[in-house]
Amino acid sequence: MTAALPVLKAGQVLAPGYEVLDHLARGQALDVYDVWSDERDCHCVAKTPRPDRLTDVAVRRRLLREGRILLDLAHPNIVRAYELVRGASPALVLETLTGGSVHDALSTASRRPALGAVVQLGIHLCSALHYLHGRELLHGDLKPANVMMDRGFAKVIDLSLVCRPGKAVRGRGTRGYMAPEQARGGHVSAATDVWGVGATLYAATVGRKPFGPGPDAGAYAQLERRADRVEAHRRLPRTHAPLGELIAACLEPEPRARPALGEVTDRLDELLED
């Protein structure tokens, strides 16, 4: 049904000053376009509601909120926002990134990433989250599909589910990467994003997400069991054994048992030095 919905064609105007070059992706609520910015004289990426979601108040509110948040942020490991276009067809204009997502890389690569690259990825993610947490913001949906690579830098994208620490949420996030407290409707904290780091590094290390589908459509596997150790799916040399231990610690079911974000950074720094 969604495939039959029209998309803007090359040459059409998405918003004043932004000409469509290509349609990049379609999600449950948004279309993503490659556009040309007259003001900047360069490519940009624009997110806008799908035609059938233009009047959906919740979709519009989330997009505008994400835009306001991103426009207030400046960090090398977080995607940069250029402009938030309001009106009947709102759009969030973002920088164009040169590489694909970590998810895409894992899906198409013939071999799993080098462990040193996984460690570097973790350092970049922790840096971005440290910045967000300093502004009392949680990402809440960290996963390989929400991390883009750009000239050697990992860049966190999609801040549509950002929330404040202490908020009670249920089912907000991505099922296979969601922390247990998110799945059960508990209060989220910095530890929730630490889980996201662990889940993303798990996928990058072994090539698969830590949790598959639950026993039935409404179940969450992370509420039923612990994640397998990464060593069960990939042999780690002695020098990188601490990486497996760290990922397991980040994926502790109890938030208070997970390491603090600063400790995760320190342990990754030690691994990088080694």
Computed from CA positions of residues 205, 128, 226, 209, in that sequence, does the dihedral angle turn out positive or negative?
negative
Taken in order 36, 37, 43, 47, the sign of the CA dihedral is: negative
Q: Is 151 left (phi over 0), alpha (psi -120 to 50) or beta?
A: left
Q: Measure the CA–CA gap between 16 and 218, rounded to whole angstroms.
A: 43
Given a contact cutoff of 8 angstroms between Cβ atoms, the answer to whether 95 and 47 are in contact is no
Contact 181, 171 (CB under 8 A): no
Question: What would the two tokens of residue 260 be?
Answer: 């603090």
User: For residues 71 and 83, what is the distance between their CA atoms, to the nearest angstrom?
Assistant: 7
Measured CA to CA, the distance from residue 252 to residue 184 in angstroms comes to 15
- Clarify whether 41 is annotated catalytic: no
Placement of tokens 């040309």 in the chain:
36
Inter-residue contact 273 to 251 (CB < 8 Å): no
**Dihedral (CA of 48, 54, 57, 58) sign:** negative
CA distance 233 to 62: 38
Spot the catalytic one: 31, 141, 158, 193.
Answer: 141
Catalytic residue annotation: 141
